[in-house]
Amino acid sequence: MTRCSKQERHKILQQTIESKPFLTDEELARQLGVSVQTIRLDRAALNIPELRQRTKLMAEQSGNKTKALETNEVVGDLIDLELGKSGISVLEITPDMVFERTRIARGHYVYSQANSLALSVIDAPQAVTGVANVKYKVPVTIGEKLIAKAEVVKQRGNKFFVWVKIRNAEQEVFRAKFIMVTLEQKGEIDR
């Protein structure tokens, strides 16, 4: 990136964080061609919180909207939610989530992030997973930040068809097509 004035850099920084709120200071520094310290000073001047605080604020704003799950039941941080339409969550892979020998994330953590996000977007007080068609595309390792995006693509009666795609910094690592079933009366999952 070519050198720009401080004001231009501040404007670009604000726009970048608005469009990609999960970028680290290191990623922002590379993108803007400045030092990490410059990014930190710019964020402070613009009153932009660091990544963890931005994620926490977004999670707090979105978490209280869920109906089918309690906020603490969502795997990862729920950062955006539009009931009946879409949602986004973030999960950082920690050492306790991986196989000891290979250091690759256990699949149930990735699946749980997708499944709990799919349940979160359902606009109903009770829902369960009726069908899950999943595809693990590439292994995930310690320290990777997974961003899951869910979209309700169709609703038929008490069934919601939800697609979830999970990406790391470079590529899609997982995708799933869920049929989520709302439970309004006992035995509805059998229909």
Q: For the segment 43-68, what is each residue's pLDDT rounded down to a tens digit?
A: 888 888 787 777 666 656 554 566 66
- β 159-167/86-92 pair status: unpaired
Identify the domain containing residue 15 by its residue range.
6-48
106 & 170 share domain: yes
pLDDT at 53: 74
Kindly state the tokens that stand for 58. Answer: 């977004």
Looking at the structure, do residues 36 and 88 belong to the same domain, yes or no?
no
Q: Give the dihedral of Cα atoms 170, 4, 41, 26; nearest 10 deg.
A: 20
Tell me the Ramachandran region of residue 82: left when phi exceeds 0, alpha when psi lies from -120 to 50, beta otherwise. Answer: beta
> 166 and 98 in one domain?
yes
Summarised one tens digit per residue, pLDDT across range 96-143 is 999 999 999 999 999 999 999 999 999 888 889 999 999 999 999 999
pLDDT of res. 63: 47
One domain, residues 159 and 72? yes
Quick one: pLDDT at residue 173? Answer: 97
